[in-house]
Structure 1
C-alpha cells in the first residue's frame, strides 16, 4: 500500500508539474512578448467599456438597469469576453502545445487544463480590477451578491471549457471551422444581453434568445451587482447541460483521435 501511495503521489507530482510548465510557457508567449504584457489585458476592456459608455450615453439618458453606464456594460461585456477568449484559447490548445505533446508525460488534457487555469485566473484578476475601479471611480453604493457572481463565472467557465474542448478537436481536424466559428460568434456580441435585459424582449424573441446560454450567464452576473434585478429567466441547469454535452463529445473525440491529430501536424 505504501508503495502504491508513493507511486500515485509521484504521478500526481509529475502531472502537476507538466500543467504548471505549460502555464508558465503560455505566460511567457502570450504576455511576456507583447508590448505592455498583462497591462494590455486590463487596458483593452477598459477602452472597450469607455467607448460603449460614450456612445450609449448620447443615445440614452440611463442604462436599462441602474444609473451607471460603465457598471451595466461591464457586467455584460466582461463575462462575454472571458467566454470568447477562453473558448479560443482552449480551441487552439493542441496546436499551441503540439511540440510538447510528443512527450509521454504531457497529454492533450494537460494542454487544455493549463490554458483553462491560466486564462481563468487572468480574467478573474482583470474582472476584479475593472469592477473595483468602476465602483471606486464613480463612488457607487453597490450591494454585491457574491454567490450570484461566482455562479455566473462558474457557468461561463463551464461553457468555455465544454465548447473550447469540442472546438479543440474541430479546429484540428477541420481548420476552416476556426474561421467559420469566428464568423458565427460575431452576432453573439449583440444577442447575448450585453446591451439589453432579457425581461424587456418581447416574445417569441425572448424564448429564442434564451437558447443562447450566454444570456443566462450575463443575467446572473447582473443579479450579482444590481440588488433590484430579479434574474428570474436564468436557468443554470441549461447552461451546465450545454457545457457537459460539449465537453463529453470533445473529450471523447480527442481521446480517440489525438494521436492522429498530432501525427498530421508533425
Structure 2
C-alpha cells in the first residue's frame, strides 16, 4: 500500500531528526548534557557579573527568572536560524533520495532545537524554583503559544537564510553576524518598561521583543507587558513564513542542482 506524501515527509523528518541527534551529541561523553551547558554557563556568568546590580534595580522580581525568559527564547531563535544556513551542505548526500527535501532538514533541526531548549527551560525554571526564586506560571496558554510562534518565526528566518546562503555562498559567513546585534535590542538583558516610552518604537518592530516580554509576563506575577502583542508576533510569523516558503519554492530545484 502506497504511503501518502504527508506520511513520507513525516518518516523523512523523523529519520533526519534522529540523525541530527546522533551527529550533534553522539560523539560527546556527556551526550545530551552538552545542550544544557551553553545556556546554563551563559546565565551563570551573567548572574555572577550582574546579579547584585540587577537585584538592586529589580527588587520586585527574580532576576534569574527574568534572565531565563530572555536568554532561552533568544537562543531558540538564534540556533534555528543559524543552523538552517548549513542544512543543505550537512545533508547533501541524502538528497539523492527523492523523498528528502531541503525543507525537511530545517524542520528536523527546528524540532530538535525546540525540544532541547524546552527541556532546558523547564529544567532551569525548576532549579531556580527549588532555590527559592519567586515565579508563578499564570498564563500557560500564552507561554505555549509564544513558544510555538517563536519556533515558526525562526523556521521562516531559517528558510530565508538557507535560500540566500545557497544562492550566494559568500553570504554564509555574513548572515549569522546579522543576528548578533539582535541580542542587545531584543530585551534579553532589560525590560521594555525600563526604556522611556518615546524610544519604544525603535524596539517594538522586533518580534523577539514581543516574544521575550510575553514569556516574562506569563511567569512573573505583576510583570507589565505593555507595548507588546501576541497578535503582532503572530502576524510577523505568518509574513516571514510566507516569504521563506515563497523563496524556497522558487529556488528548490536550483538549490539541489547547484
Q: How high is the TM-score relative to the length of structure 1?
A: 0.89
Distance of 2:171 and 2:58 partners within structure 1: 36
Indicate the residue corresponding to 1:238 in structure 2.
Answer: 232
Distance 1:215 1:139 in 2: 24
Asked if structure 2 preserves the Cα contact closer than 8 Å seen for 1:168 and 1:250, the reply is no
Q: Tell me, which stretches of 5 or more residues in structure 1 are unaligned?
A: 1-5
1:51 and 2:45 matched: yes
**Mapped partners of 2:173, 2:58: distance in 1:** 33
Shifted more, 61-70 versus 50-59: the winner is 61-70
- The answer to whether residue 156 in structure 2 is matched with residue 162 in structure 1 is yes
Query: Which has the higher mean CA deviation after the structures are superposed, 29-38 or 222-231?
Result: 29-38
| 1:81 paired residue among 57, 67, 75 | 75
One of 85, 90, 93 as aligned partner of 1:99: 93
Say if 2:124 is the partner of 1:117: no
Structure 1 residue corresponding to 2:205, chosen from 194, 207, 211: 211
* Conserved? CA contact 2:135–2:219, under 8 Å: no
**Equivalent residue, structure 2, for 1:21:** 15
Of 18, 24, 30, 1:30 maps to: 24
Q: Distance in 1 between matches of 2:84 and 2:69?
A: 23
Tell me how far apart the structure 2 counterparts of residues 203 and 139 of structure 1 sit (CA, whole Å).
29
Question: 18-27 vs 167-176, which deviates more?
Answer: 167-176
Kept after mapping to 1: 8 A contact 2:163/2:247: yes
Instruction: Please give the per-residue CA displacement for 1:208-261, whole angstroms capped at 9, x wherever unaligned.
Output: 110111000000000111120131211222222222222222222222222222
Do the aligned residues in 2 keep the contact of 1:62 with 1:68 (CA within 8 Å)?
A: no
Runs of 4 or more consecutive aligned structure 1 residues displaced over 4 Å after TM superposition: none
**RMSD, matched Cα:** 2.0
Separation in structure 2 between the aligned mates of residue 156 and residue 62 of structure 1, nearest angstrom:
31
1:253 to 227, 235, 247: 247
**Corresponding residue for 2:136?**
142
